[in-house]
Chain A
Amino acid sequence: MSTKPVVEGTYVFGIEDNRRGYALNKLCSTFTSAENRELFLQNEAAYCDRFDLTPEQRTAILERDWIKMLDLGGSIFYIFKLAQLDKKSVQYLGGIFTGMSTEEFIAELKAGGRHFG
């Protein structure tokens, strides 16, 4: 039984998530090379085939379903490399994760951030 904390509204990335999300995160990790970034953009589906993705992970990547990627074991630090390839900011992702527009999310940050509990 894992001792990993459960915190509502929060992904706590642990060893089991690493195992589940390995191929998805591994794919994103290859974007640290300009050559790989170019290869991916040329043919995303073929690039995905090089990794042992589950069908759900493959679809989530190709459809840019950011929440699904996290649910399937993605780590934000890997997924963010894919977002950067799309020229999407971490505020754009924040908007997606919280059901806001990018502008609304930025406005909340500028107003002091979001508060909980």
Chain B
Amino acid sequence: MAEIIWGLATSHVPSIGAAMDNDKTHDDYWSPLFDDYQPARDWMAEHTPDVVLVVYNDHANAIDLDLMPTFAIGTASHFPVADEGWGPRPVPPVLGHPELATHIVESLVDEEFDITVANQLQVDHGLTVPLSVYTPEPGSAWPCPVIPILVNVLQYPQPTAKRCYSLGQAIGRAIASYTENIKVAIFGTGGMSHQLSGERAGLINENFDHMFLEKIQTDPEALTRITREEYIREAGSEGIELIMWLVMRGAMKTEIERIAETYHVPASNTAAALALFENTESPS
């Protein structure tokens, strides 16, 4: 059967991708962030999955305001890299895993999660920046197939934190019931605190972020009790992206081991973090 071997929580700030694309990772501004990534990257390079699930949100690219699915899963065999308004990122096309993606959708709908199926999907920085955090120099191809899992965080009502966690738990069961012996990694992306518009633009809340970074490992259920209003108030109107980390966390075991953690202010207008967890202990 398939198993989740690790989970990566990471910000997906576009400028982190742009810094890599434009060879700026050794600049004074960026080198502290990228230097801190290295231990996590080294560990992931030694623990390679066969497929990666990326929980992320689209940013007005593949999904516009005509249709706003709360949760969607990409079932295609490949996902073109989106032109977000300034040309596509110079990264390899993203290959999918239709068989596992189909199994996950069927399993989730059987469990009464009413998932939108994305059969054609362009992927934006929300997905490709986390892939670059994992694999900074992919060459002509990413190291493995990818299944995009989309969450609406742009338009209220976003799903609740609790629902995101429950979805993750159901994804975990779907992986466990997949008969092929493959290793899976799951990425929860976005955050941490940031707000792009309004009089509170530039908001950073280090106290909230550090609380979240700790509890995502030790007490995720506490994070599911935080309301959407509190996420917006404390972490900013875009900081609510952190609910996507709970999808990742829900798919993992009760006890997980922290392999690496970084926290950096600012990356563009955002508090950027990385937290890498090995899926170690038996589920309770």
Instruction: Give me the interface of A with B, judged by CB distance under 8 Å.
Output: 3-5, 7-15, 17-18, 22, 25-26, 28-29, 31-34, 37, 70, 75-78, 80-81, 84-85, 90-91, 93-94, 97-98, 105, 108-110, 112-117
Asked whether, in the complex, the Cβ of A90 is within 8 Å of the Cβ of B269, the reply is yes
Min C-beta distance of A33 to chain B, whole Å: 7
If the complex has contacts A31-B85, A34-B87, A70-B197, are A108 and B154 also in contact, measured as CB distance less than 8 A?
no
Asked whether, in the complex, the Cβ of A112 is within 8 Å of the Cβ of B200, the reply is no
Asked whether, in the complex, the Cβ of A10 is within 8 Å of the Cβ of B266, the reply is no
If the complex has contacts A26-B65, A32-B82, A117-B233, are A97 and B197 also in contact, measured as CB distance less than 8 A?
yes
Asked whether, in the complex, the Cβ of A78 is within 8 Å of the Cβ of B156, the reply is no
Residue of A whose beta carbon sits closest to that of B84: A32
Residue B271 interfacial (CB < 8 Å): yes
Min C-beta distance of A79 to chain B, whole Å: 8
Jot down 26 A-B pairs with beta carbons below 8 A, ordered by A. Answer: A7-B229, A8-B200, A9-B198, A9-B199, A11-B197, A13-B155, A29-B65, A32-B61, A32-B83, A32-B85, A34-B87, A75-B65, A77-B154, A80-B85, A81-B60, A81-B85, A93-B201, A98-B199, A98-B202, A105-B201, A105-B202, A109-B269, A113-B193, A113-B202, A114-B202, A116-B200
> 11 new A-B pairs (CB below 8 Å) besides A32-B82, A109-B269, A114-B200?
A10-B232, A10-B237, A11-B237, A13-B155, A25-B64, A32-B83, A34-B87, A70-B197, A76-B197, A77-B60, A94-B201
Chain A residues in 8 Å Cβ range of B205: 113, 115-116
Min C-beta distance of B275 to chain A, whole Å: 19
Q: Give the distance in Å from the alpha carbon of A11 to the alpha carbon of B236 in the complex.
A: 10
Most buried by B among A70, A77, A105: A77
Most buried by A among B68, B82, B236, B269: B269
If the complex has contacts A25-B65, A32-B85, A81-B85, are A97 and B233 also in contact, measured as CB distance less than 8 A?
no
Give the size of the chain B interface in residues (CB under 8 angstroms): 40
Instruction: Please report which residues of chain B, range 191-215, place their CB below 8 angstroms from some CB of chain A when the two chains form the complex.
Output: 193, 195-206
Q: Give the distance in Å from the alpha carbon of A85 to the alpha carbon of B86 in the complex.
A: 8
Chain B residues in 8 Å Cβ range of A4: 156-157
Min C-beta distance of A47 to chain B, whole Å: 15
Q: Give the distance in Å from the alpha carbon of A14 to the alpha carbon of B229 in the complex.
A: 13
Asked whether, in the complex, the Cβ of A14 is within 8 Å of the Cβ of B204, the reply is no
Min C-beta distance of B254 to chain A, whole Å: 31
Residue of A whose beta carbon sits closest to that of B83: A32
Q: Give the distance in Å from the alpha carbon of A25 to the alpha carbon of B85 in the complex.
A: 13
Instruction: Give me the interface of B with A, judged by CB distance under 8 Å.
Output: 59-61, 64-65, 68, 82-87, 154-157, 193, 195-206, 228-229, 232-233, 236-237, 265-266, 268-269, 271
Most buried by A among B64, B155, B197: B197
Chain A residues in 8 Å Cβ range of B61: 32
Our pick among B59, B233, B265 for the contact of A109 (Cβ within 8 Å) is B265
Asked whether, in the complex, the Cβ of B155 is within 8 Å of the Cβ of A113, the reply is no
If the complex has contacts A14-B155, A108-B202, are A22 and B65 also in contact, measured as CB distance less than 8 A?
yes
Residue of B whose beta carbon sits closest to that of A5: B229
Asked whether, in the complex, the Cβ of A109 is within 8 Å of the Cβ of B266, the reply is yes
If the complex has contacts A91-B269, A98-B199, A115-B205, are A12 and B232 also in contact, measured as CB distance less than 8 A?
yes
Chain A residues in 8 Å Cβ range of B198: 9-11, 70, 97
Chain A residues in 8 Å Cβ range of B204: 109, 112-115
Q: Give the distance in Å from the alpha carbon of A76 to the alpha carbon of B269 in the complex.
A: 13
Asked whether, in the complex, the Cβ of A13 is within 8 Å of the Cβ of B229, the reply is no
Min C-beta distance of B15 to chain A, whole Å: 8
Q: Give the distance in Å from the alpha carbon of A5 to the alpha carbon of B157 in the complex.
A: 10
Q: Give the distance in Å from the alpha carbon of A114 to the alpha carbon of B205 in the complex.
A: 8
Asked whether, in the complex, the Cβ of A5 is within 8 Å of the Cβ of B156, the reply is yes
Asked whether, in the complex, the Cβ of A93 is within 8 Å of the Cβ of B60, the reply is no
